[in-house]
Amino acid sequence: MIDATTFKPKTVYVTYIAATPDRVWQALTDPVFTRQYFFGFAVDVEPKKGGAFFLRYPDGRVHISGKVMEWSPPRRFSCTWLVEGMKEFGELPECSVAYDIERAGEAVKLTMTESHSWEVPDAILAGGRSGWPAILSSLKSVLETGTPLSIKMEPPKEMMDAVQQAVAGKPWLK
Amino acid sequence: MSKPKFVYVTYIRTTPEKLWAALTDPQTIRKFWFGITAESDFKPGSPWCLKFEDGRTADTGEILEAVPHKRLVIRWRNEFKPELKAEGYSRCTMEIEMADYYPDFGGKAAKLTIHHEVEGEGGGRFIDAVSGGWPKVLSNLKSLLETGDVAFQR
């Protein structure tokens, strides 16, 4: 069993949202919300430490799977994260994603931290680094205006090449 | 170890024209920048500075590039914290693009990308400082353009 608490943060995104911590928590853990801002994916999470975590396509197939590492409403939600829904990504080691929610004056500070167990090439990190700003900008819009910003995005070509290379060489085993 | 750099992207439901106007209008800047405002005519080669509400100078520099509705590059040095001023000039690039979007689900959005790094070696403390500040400022800018009000006052 891997210890995901030792993973190193590689991508951090911070946004401040005019909402309560409870509303931000709900937006992160309720499928009705995530479908609006998370490229159409529905979160499906067993609300306890060790519980199962999924992000599902609209037809129910699994895009991301993981285990809940921390479930502390409405402050911190973290889970392991394995991309199953994209070719070859499922052979990469899993990473972890943590959401921290803190009060900041009359707003809420939301911090997303994506952490990894190995020296991930920037070309692979580029996927999250392009995706998270779109996802979390849209989450903020949903909470503040009621309407998401549905940004269209393709996985970066260099990322797909880098994933193929990594899967072939398996540098995390060295 | 690569040179410290801050990169931040936010998507805002607005037009490039309105976003440019917000980034270059002193009265609007004051609203989303917690009372701080800019003094500049935002033309290439012109001086630029940020001032606190009480008139003290926060940062100084000059406009290196200004392509309306697209790109603004500022040469930028901190003036109020000696340890940050000691790290010298930085370069801040703001780029505005139209985002691809699903028109059925929320309409048009502008993508704003901020790159900030110091010109010389190092710059770790300066980049740490702006890494804390930019998300606050840009979150408020997004709220102001989308809702007419900022997310929070410091």
Cα–Cα distance, A113 to A13 (Å, whole number): 7
What is the predicted pLDDT for the residue at B1?
56
Question: Which pLDDT belongs to residue B70?
Answer: 98
Domain positions in chain A are 8-167
The reported pLDDT for the residue numbered B123 is: 84
- Which residue type, as a one-letter code, is found at position B55? G
Angle, vertex CA A104, rays to CA A98 and CA A110, nearest 5: 20
Token pair of B131, please? 């890494």
Please state, in angstroms and rounded to a whole number, the distance separating the CA atoms of residues A69 and B127: 31
pLDDT, mean of residues A55-65? 96
**Considering only residues 27 to 66 of chain A, which have any Cβ-Cβ distance to chain B shorter than 8 Å?**
36
Contact criterion met (CB < 8 Å) for A147 and B8: no
A140 contacts on B by Cβ (under 8 Å): 139, 142-143
A174 falls in which pLDDT band (50, 70, 90)?
A: confident
Query: How far is B73 from B62, CA to CA, in rounded Å?
Result: 9
Picking from B11, B144, B150 by the largest number of A CB atoms within 10 A of its own CB, the best residue to mutate is: B11
From A146, A160, A166, select the one nearest A19 (Cα to Cα): A146
Residues A172/A94, Cβ–Cβ less than 8 Å = no
* Segment A7-35 mean pLDDT: 97
pLDDT tens-digit profile of A104-122?
Answer: 999 999 999 999 999 999 9
Residues whose CB falls within 8 Å of the CB of residue A118, separated by 6 or more in sequence, listed in order: A93, A171, A172
Does the pLDDT value for residue A1 go beyond 70? no
Rounded Cα gap, residues A59 and A36, in angstroms: 15
Outline where chain B has alpha helix (H): 16-24, 26-32, 82-85, 124-147
φ, ψ dihedrals at A149, nearest 5°: -115, 100
Per domain, the residue ranges of chain B are 6-147
Question: What's the CATH class of domain B6-147?
Answer: alpha beta
Interface test with B, best of A151, A153, A154 (most B CBs within 10 A): A151
In whole numbers, what is the pLDDT of chain A averaged over residues? Answer: 95
Distance CA B119, CA B116 (A): 10
What share of chain A has pLDDT > 70, as a percent?
99
pLDDT along chain B (154 residues), means of 10: 88 97 97 97 98 97 98 97 96 96 83 96 92 98 97 89
Residues of chain B found within 8 Å of residue A138, distances taken between Cβ atoms: 11, 106
Examine the pLDDT at A5 and tell me if it is beyond 90.
Answer: no
Sorting pLDDT into bands at 50, 70 and 90, what band is A134? very high
- Residue B2's pLDDT is 73
Residue range A8-167, CATH number: 3.30.530.20
Report pTM: 0.96
- CA dist B154 and B136 (Å) reads 9
CB–CB contact B106 A18 (8 Å) = no
